[in-house]
Amino acid sequence: MRLRRKPEAKQKLMEHPLVFTPTEDNKGQMQGQWRSAFPHETHPLHVELGTGKGQFLAKASTLRPDINWIGVERIEEPLLQAVRKGEATENTNLRYIWADVENLTDIFATGEVDRIYLHFSDPWPKKRHAKRRLTYRRFLDLYEQVLAPAGDLILKTDSVSLFDFSLEEFEERGWEVVEISRDLHHSPYAPTNITTEYEDKFSSRGMPIHYVRVTPPKERAVADEN
The reply to whether 92 sits in an annotated binding site is no
The reply to whether 169 sits in an annotated binding site is no
Catalytic, out of 25, 106, 114, 122: 122
On whether the CB atoms of residues 96 and 86 are closer than 8 A, the answer is yes
The reply to whether 141 sits in an annotated binding site is no
Q: What pairing do the DSSP bridges indicate for beta strands 210-215 and 147-157?
A: antiparallel
SS3 label, residue 89: helix
Active-site residue, 164 included = no
The reply to whether 197 sits in an annotated binding site is yes
What residues does 38 pair with on adjacent strands? Answer: none
Q: Running DSSP on this structure, what letter comes out for residue 16?
A: -
The reply to whether 100 sits in an annotated binding site is yes
Neighbours of 72 (CB within 10 A): 23
The reply to whether 126 sits in an annotated binding site is yes
SS3 label, residue 96: strand
The reply to whether 143 sits in an annotated binding site is no
The reply to whether 131 sits in an annotated binding site is no
Going from the C-alpha of 178 to that of each of 58, 143, 200, the distances in angstroms are 26, 17, 24
The reply to whether 224 sits in an annotated binding site is no
For residue 53, is it left (φ>0), alpha (ψ between -120 and 50) or beta? alpha
Q: Which residues sit in the known binding site?
A: 48, 73, 100, 122, 126, 158, 196-199
Task: List active site positions.
Answer: 122
Q: Which residues sit in the known binding site for substrate?
A: 126, 158, 196-199
